[in-house]
Structure 1
Amino acid sequence: MTATTKFSCSPSKESFYEAVQILITKPHVVNKRLWGSKIWLKHNCISLEETVTWPNHIHKLESVSTPEIEKYIDCMYNTMKLQKCDGDSISDCFEINILELFPKNYADKASYQLIIINKLESYIIFYNVTPSEVIQNTTPSFTYGIHVENDMIVLNAHCDDENSKSYMWLKNKLLPQFIKWTTETESNNGKKKICTASLTLVSSSKYFEKYNELKLKYGKDLVKIWPECTDPTKFVYEDVAIATYLLLLWEDRSLVKKQTFVDLGCGNGLLVYILCKEGHAGLGIDVRKREIWDMYPPEVKLKMKTIVPSESNLFPNADWIIGNHSDELTPWIPVIAAKSSYKCNFFLLPCCAFNFDGSKYQRVDSKKSQYTEYLEHVKKICEDCGFITDLDRLKIPSTKRICLVSNGRMYSPDTYKDSINKISKIFKEKHARGNVENDTWLADFKARESTQKVRNCTQLDKNLIESIVKIVTDCLLEGCSKDCNEQWSVGKIVEISELVSLIPKQNLIKLKSECGGLQTLLKNNHNIFLVSGGKVQLRYPKTVDQVITIQKRQKIIDTKIQVKPCWFHNNHPQGCPLSSINCSFLHSKG
């Protein structure tokens, strides 16, 4: 049977095809079971007959390799009376793709699709051609297609059950997202994006395999022993992903010998650790030492030092300078790499935007986001330093994922000295306060402090905290009856913005100086408040059994119960709703 769903929408041929390309190259955006995809084959063809009718089903691949896929396509061409042709304009009749879909769960099997695209008539058909012996659960097993007809976008699926999970996913997830892409591509027509594709400088399939190899090799154990206060699932797997990218980049550039590198602003040193364990020799430098440094083996070289951009902080023996979220050193990375040696390249992943002097970068063009403008700014610095510079989008759990990678110089080795002098001249002209010909390149450069100030509202005066808590709770409990016979009240739900207006201005200034402000203070007092979606209410206190269950789940051995005084017992008009035996806090005046 054929299940059909229609939406009112009339995209142009160009925007329909743009949406198709997103669906093929970035299927993981809409299909959360996927990590990514690889196009094994892409052909343009025409029909040798006046019309072509695509079947509801097509035979599957017998095995997966380039020769077998070529043979499979040749057989299909003969059967369907098709002929390969050159060109890829919108007027070409058919585009044939063989797509491999990588599952997010590495233990699952990859699936394969044969995709037929008609650019002229705006339709796309997906055939599942995964080899029969492979059990996959990442994409529908039946044939489905999307096309434009009479100002409607139509989804057709040759499935047995239109209530199946696969069809409901196509109907409720894939099709609405596809329609959104068609409208976005039309509204963004003519707007240039700085970087749209992911992993363009390395092989996606090799990356998928290497990442999962390193994830199993290093990731799981590091997450278990992570001593830092940061989230290990984010920071560990992000550095595993960056290490994977660098290892493949160095391999794909036919760099036979192992690389030497310096990671400036190395932070927890995990990237240095993985690259060293994989055979490359490197050094990590950061202004502060982290707890995890002591857990690495001796061959992992990490150094606590403040880097001030100068002639004394060059690295002539390094093949690569790495700037991974290097903060105030970010704009200096290409300069340091350029002046270190002719052979030195760089990998730069900007996060926070800084100027050369260490101050925060302020955007100039309000039509662009600060992030986009800063990337363009840094890329211009790289080019001023004589580097051929590529941009790429990484697959990491971060919103700042676009990296800049040098690929050699714009000039030959015999002009290196003259080129460095030109870089010094350009820098001097653009940044008149400094002089790169002196040892220190910028007199007013401000590096980070070696000790990090705690700015999470935990260092505020106790009386100030108590006064703010009282203002907030008085507002939440306004009108609450003291009658103990009534149902215990959690009070009102109030917007944080409304609470801000109740707090004296001088107290708000003190909060802002401690980073996070009122919301951070309320979250720190999570025994009292529940903060969600910009709103605050009182939290119903937890029982002893609830706390023990939570701590067992989190594998917390030192269980502290009924130690701190119960705020509700001492301050709520109706007292605590729990008995002194059941409440996880202590029922005593304190």
Structure 2
Amino acid sequence: MFINSTMTPVSFWNSVNILIKKFNVINKRLWGCKTMFSGYCKTEHSLWVLPKSCPNLGHEEDLQSYINTLFSKLQIELCDEPKSCYEVVIIELLPKQYTQKKAYQLVFLEKEKVAVTFYDITPEDHNQTLCPSFRYSLALKNKAITLKTSLDDTSNCKSYQWLVDQVLPQFVKWGEEDTRKRPICMESLSLISKDKYYKKYNELKMKYGKEMVEVWPEGTDPSKYVYEDVAIATYLLLLWEDGNEGDFQKKTFVDLGCGNGLLVYILAKEGHTGLGIDVRKRQIWDMYPDDVKLEVKTIIPSDVNLFPEADWLIGNHSDELTPWIPVIAARSSYKCNFFLLPCCAFNFDGSKYQRRDSSKSQYTEYLEYVKDICESCGFETCVDRLKIPSTKRICLVGRKRLHTEDKYQQFCNEIKNLIDKSSECTKIKSSDSTSWVTDFKPRDPVERVKNCTKIEKSITGPIVDCITNYLLEGCNLQTDWSCGKLVDLCELIHLLTNDQLRAMKAECGGLQTLLKNNHHIFKVQSGKVQLRYPKTIEEVKSNTKLDKNIKVKQKPCWFYIHHPQGCPLTDSKCSYLHGTV
């Protein structure tokens, strides 16, 4: 199997590097990969007959014994310097399911031939399903990427089909990507130990995650938000170890814009002292014990909202406070650090950030914008990628200063100049004022519901009428009652004006959301739309998913008033009221 490609040897090896170090980005059964051994060697063997795998490659002594056996049998000689055209790498594949056994691969890189071969060396009793159990290789030759395997018959092999359909095309895509458009951070968990993270995350997941998912009272998806906060807590706990080999360092922290407070809860239960602040209280707050400190407060950037006792400020999806987190941390004290996970893009004044460079995504440009602010505040700023179920997973960490403590006051003065020069904040008060800006727009303490249910009827009415007329267009309305045509949702979008589409987008919804909100009129399923046949009183009451005491005939029947044929049900059978409003 082969794919024509414009890849060069350099880009080929870049793609190989991703397969070795980040195989989990394409293999969804994996959490990650760990390089256990890497070395350059001299060998005449181009096709290998591998020795049997050892019982436990996870133990260092067994791993070394395997390597010694491998090299002696194949007469391989290690090189001190990478002058040879051969390289041997042994990697450990870590499963997403923590209780599942790991798998191991030996990778043989032939530099002169521009080829790489993968061998499964997992002990047979592991019965691994994390990677192909057969030998396979990728090579660049005659402007094509070739995939070869040791299989005699590939017709019914799912692993081979996966290599063809998923791995090979993605491998080529990596090699042909424009490196200038790569994200601001390519490496995941670069500031902490990945081994410790893998173990710690699964411990906290069992300790807090399962229980929280079961009792989650919020309207948000617990499978996402709970495990995301567990992952962020894991990252912070390891970051706070300060490289002291697990030595516990008690920290004080403030989580600005703490939301559901779960991150504060986990960090507090793991021995740290902190406070969570948000503009509004969440239902789950009442479920936390008294030692979890959460406070309802609107933070306005000012001298009165500093935290000199805090070791760390946390900005986890902190919205309009995001660009202010490094400023507040820098002004709070010389020892105060910050962790910042930007999501929605905001300016200093709380308005939405507008992209300036069309060659970059808004997210990438905003990360660069915030990183510049962090460095201007005197922080040596590190950028890292978290392993969380979110597309916005790049974090910024400021735990060192670019200046010594004796220059702290000088940098505080320079921070004020930074705000003064910001094009977004032109209304700055005098230097002796406690407030830093006069036009800052914090979030509304009352959350606005935005799901297309609040759009004015003057907008939704014409949309419903337009779609209804289109569905009934060409139908025979002289005979039986008609539900109209069954059409693709995308076909209906072209019927709407730009103003109507903007009105729905402003309410965090689209046409499908609006139609589903009018489920008594439209049936939306598998991307198809049709008028719904009205339900009878018996049908509504027999639906086991609904409350048995549900009330009927509370609202006017839309079909009776608006459908050209009226309602197909009689007054006594229809679950809605017949008559004009």
Same fold by TM-score, threshold 0.5 exceeded?
Answer: yes
Superposed counterparts of 1:249-288, under 5 Å: 249-254=239-244, 256-288=248-280
Cα distance per residue 1:441-499 (max 9 Å; x no partner):
12222211212233333234557644532232122211222244588644444534323
Q: Could you tell me which residue of structure 1 aligns to residue 521 of structure 2?
A: 528
Give the C-alpha shift of residue 568 in structure 1: 5.5
Match of 1:68 among 54, 62, 66: 62
Consecutive unaligned residues of structure 2, counting only runs of 5 or more, are none
Superposed counterparts of 1:9-158, under 5 Å: 9=5, 11-47=7-43, 51-63=44-56, 64-87=58-81, 92-158=84-150
Matches of 1:171 and 1:509, distance apart in 2: 42
Larger deviation: 134-143 or 64-73?
Answer: 64-73
Q: Does 1:450 align with 2:440?
A: no
DSSP 3-state at the match of 2:127? coil
Q: TM-score, normalised by structure 1?
A: 0.87
Letter in 2 for 1:8: N
Q: Does 1:375 align with 2:330?
A: no
Give the C-alpha shift of residue 512 in structure 1: 6.1
Cα distance per residue 1:175-196 (max 9 Å; x no partner):
2221222222xxx145564111
Q: Could you tell me which residue of structure 2 aligns to residue 201 of structure 1?
A: 191
Q: Does 1:316 align with 2:311?
A: no
Check the 8 A contact 2:540/2:575 in 1, yes or no: no
- Corresponding residue pairs, total: 570
Cα distance per residue 1:231-252 (max 9 Å; x no partner):
2222112111111111122125
1:525/1:432 Cα in 2 relative to 1: closer, same or farther (>3 Å)? closer
Check the 8 A contact 1:202/1:249 in 2, yes or no: yes
Q: Does 1:476 align with 2:476?
A: no
Give the C-alpha shift of residue 337 in structure 1: 0.8
Letter in 2 for 1:132: E
Give the C-alpha shift of residue 546 in structure 1: 9.7
Match of 1:412 among 404, 413, 421: 404
Give the C-alpha shift of residue 355 in structure 1: 1.1
Check the 8 A contact 1:478/1:491 in 2, yes or no: no
Cα distance per residue 1:255-289 (max 9 Å; x no partner):
63211110001111111111112221110001111
Match of 2:220 among 230, 233, 237: 230
RMSD: 3.2
Q: Could you tell me which residue of structure 1 aligns to residue 203 of structure 2?
A: 213
Percent identical pairs in the alignment equals: 52
Match of 1:297 among 289, 297, 300: 289
Check the 8 A contact 2:135/2:150 in 1, yes or no: yes
DSSP 3-state at the match of 1:251? coil
1:433/1:120 Cα in 2 relative to 1: closer, same or farther (>3 Å)? farther
1:423/1:571 Cα in 2 relative to 1: closer, same or farther (>3 Å)? closer
Superposed counterparts of 1:432-447, under 5 Å: 433-434=427-428, 438-447=433-442
Matches of 2:533 and 2:94, distance apart in 1: 44
Give the C-alpha shift of residue 168 in structure 1: 1.7
Matches of 2:374 and 2:248, distance apart in 1: 26
1:544/1:16 Cα in 2 relative to 1: closer, same or farther (>3 Å)? farther
Letter in 2 for 1:251: E
Give the C-alpha shift of residue 577 in structure 1: 8.3
1:79/1:523 Cα in 2 relative to 1: closer, same or farther (>3 Å)? same
Give the C-alpha shift of residue 215 in structure 1: 1.9
DSSP 3-state at the match of 1:106? coil
1:365/1:160 Cα in 2 relative to 1: closer, same or farther (>3 Å)? same
Give the C-alpha shift of residue 541 in structure 1: 6.9
Superposed counterparts of 1:301-450, under 5 Å: 301-430=293-422, 433-434=427-428, 438-450=433-445
Larger deviation: 511-520 or 465-474?
Answer: 511-520
Letter in 1 for 2:243: R
Letter in 2 for 1:148: L
Q: Does 1:589 align with 2:573?
A: no
Q: TM-score, normalised by structure 2?
A: 0.88
DSSP 3-state at the match of 2:249? coil
Matches of 1:402 and 1:138, distance apart in 2: 27
Give the C-alpha shift of residue 326 in structure 1: 0.5
Matches of 1:94 and 1:119, distance apart in 2: 6
Consecutive unaligned residues of structure 1, counting only runs of 5 or more, are none
Check the 8 A contact 2:42/2:86 in 1, yes or no: yes
Letter in 1 for 2:518: N
Check the 8 A contact 1:236/1:270 in 2, yes or no: yes
Matches of 1:23 and 1:73, distance apart in 2: 21
Matches of 1:243 and 1:172, distance apart in 2: 36
Larger deviation: 346-355 or 228-237?
Answer: 228-237
